[in-house]
Amino acid sequence: MSNIEQHMNKGQDKKKTDKIIIQNPDLSNKNERIIVQGQDNKKNERHQDNKKNERHHDNKKNERNQDNKKHERNQVHNKNEQTDRSIFSGHDHDNKKNEQNPKLNQEKDIITEVDEAPETKERKVPKDLSDKLGNAGLPRATIAASKEMPEGTPGRPTRKSVLQQHVEFWDTDHDGVITPLDTWKGFRKLGFSLAFSAVAVGIIHGGFSYPTQKSWIPILGNPLFNVYVDTLSKAKHGSDSETFDTEGRFVPEKFEEVFSKYDRDNKGGLSLKDIKQVIRGNANVFDPFGWTSAVFEWGTLYLLCEKDGIVYKEDVRSCYDVSNFFIFIQHYSICVLLYNKFLLIL
Ligand SMILES: [Ca+2]
C-alpha cells in the first residue's frame, strides 16, 4: 500500500490549511514524508488561538464592563426613580399630614354637628382655640389655661399639678395631708355655715380618703379619714367636665367646652339653669357618686362665685388652681360672706 496522504487544504486559513500526513509505518523512510509544516502551523494556530482567546477574553471583559456600566446606569436610574418617588411620596405624605391637621386644613371645614344627633347642634364645641392656646387638647400639668388666660394665673406653684393646687387652700400647714379638721376650717374661712361645712367634710372625706390612702385596709389604714395630696388624682370621680385629666392635669379644651356648650347666649358665664344643664350633660350612666359630687362642687362654686346670678368663666377658671379662694379671703370677711350667702347656704 502506498502512503496515504491526505492533504487537506481548506483555503488560506492556516488553522484549516495544515496538511495532515498520516504515515504508514510499513513504508520506508524515503517515502516517509513527514511534513512538519504543521508544527509552524500549529504554532501559528496556537498563536491565533491565543489571540482569539485574548480577543474573546477582551470581548467578554468588554461585555462585562458594558454590563457593569449598564448595571450602574440602571442603578442610577432606579435611584433617581426612587428619589423622585420619595419626593413625590414626601409631598403625598405632607399632603396627608395637611389633611389630618385641622389647623392647616381650616377648622371650619370639620363637621361637628349633624341633624341626626341634635345634641351636637345644641352643645357646640369651641373651634377658635388654636390662635390663643395652641394645642388646647394638650393637658397642662401646672397651669389652668383658658383663652383669656393662656399662661394661667401668674405666681401659682410650678411644682404641683393643677389638681394638687386645687386643694392647696385646705392644706394650711403644707404637709401633704388634709385632715377633716383642715377641710372644716377651710370651708368656715370661705364663709360657709356650720351645716354646709359639716356636709362638705362628710362628702369630701367620706368619698376621697380611701382612694388616696396608702393602705388597702379601709378603716385601719386611714382611721382619721385623711385625704393625701400626692395621690389625689386617684380621687377623680366621673360625671365631670373632664377638665382635670386622670393624672390631675388641666385640659384647656375641656374647660372651654363647658362654656361653648352651655353658655349659649354668650354672656361670659353660667347661670344656675346653665349649671343644671352642665351636670345633666356630663352625667355618666349609673354613677351616683359622680352625680352627687358634681352637684356638690357646682353648688359650692355657685354659692362662692355667683355675681347677679352668673358664675363667670374667669372665676371658675381661678377656682381650678384655687387662686380665687385666696382672693375671696383677702376681699371678704367671714361675716360679710355669711351675710350674703346665709339664706342660700341653708
Ligand atoms: Ca395638712
Q: Where are the domains of the chain?
A: 126-345
Out of 81-90, 111-120, 163-172, the most confident range is 111-120
Q: What is the pLDDT of residue 62?
A: 59
The fraction of the chain above a pLDDT of 90, given in percent, is: 46
pLDDT, average across residues 194-223: 89
Query: Cα(344) to centroid of ligand 1, in Å?
Result: 29
The per-residue pLDDT for range 128-160, each reduced to its tens digit, is 899 999 999 999 999 999 999 999 999 887 889
Q: Mean of the pLDDT values across residues 173-192? A: 90
- How many A from CA of 162 to the centre of ligand 1? 18
Does 117 have pLDDT greater than 60? yes
The alpha carbon of 115 and the centre of ligand 1 are apart by a number of angstroms equal to 52
Spacing, Cα 201 to ligand 1 middle (Å) = 14
Give the pLDDT confidence score for residue 33 in this predicted structure.
Answer: 44
CA pseudo-torsion sign 167, 173, 179, 181: negative
Give the whole-angstrom CA distance, residue 62 versus residue 51.
16
Which pLDDT band holds residue 107 (cuts at 50, 70, 90)? confident
Alpha-helical segments (H) within 154-228 = 162-166, 180-189, 194-212
Query: Quick check: 260 pLDDT over 60?
Result: yes
pLDDT, greater one: 331 or 149: 149
pLDDT score, position 179: 95
Q: How far is the CA of 194 from the centre of ligand 1 (A)?
A: 21
- Give the side-chain half-sphere CA count within 13 A for 230: 6
**178 DSSP β-pair partners:** 227
What cell was used for 308? 347677679
Give pLDDT, residue 32: 43
What average pLDDT does range 303-319 have in this prediction?
92
For residue 209, report the distance from its CA to the centre of ligand 1, in Å.
Answer: 13
Q: Is the dihedral of CA 182, 188, 189, 190 positive or negative?
A: positive
pLDDT over 90 at 290, yes or no? yes
More confident residue, 1 or 311: 311
Higher-pLDDT residue of 36 and 196 is 196
**What is the pLDDT averaged over residues 6-22?**
44
Compute, in angstroms, the gap from residue 207 CA to the centroid of ligand 1. 18
CA atoms within 13 A on the CB side of 87: 5
On the CB side of 173, how many CA atoms lie within 13 Å of its CA?
8
Distance of CA 61 to the CA centre of its chain: 57
Spatial neighbors of 65 by CB under 8 A, at least 6 apart, are: none
Q: From ligand 1's centre to the CA of 304, what distance in Å? A: 23
Span 210-232, mean pLDDT?
Answer: 89
Q: Give the mean model confidence (pLDDT) for residues 260-277.
A: 96
CB of 193 within 8 A of CB of 346?
yes
Tell me the percentage of the chain whose pLDDT exceeds 70: 63
53-76 residue pLDDT tens: 556 555 555 566 566 555 565 554
Mean pLDDT (the chain) is: 76
How many whole angstroms separate alpha carbon 84 and alpha carbon 87? 5
| pLDDT of amino acid 219 | 77
Residue 134 Cα to ligand 1 midpoint, Å, equals: 36
Mean pLDDT across 1-13? 45
Residue with the larger pLDDT of the pair 104 and 186: 186
Q: Vertex 304, ends 254 and 340: CA angle to 5°? A: 155
Ligand 1 center–CA 279 separation, angstroms: 31
Mean pLDDT computed over 313-319: 93
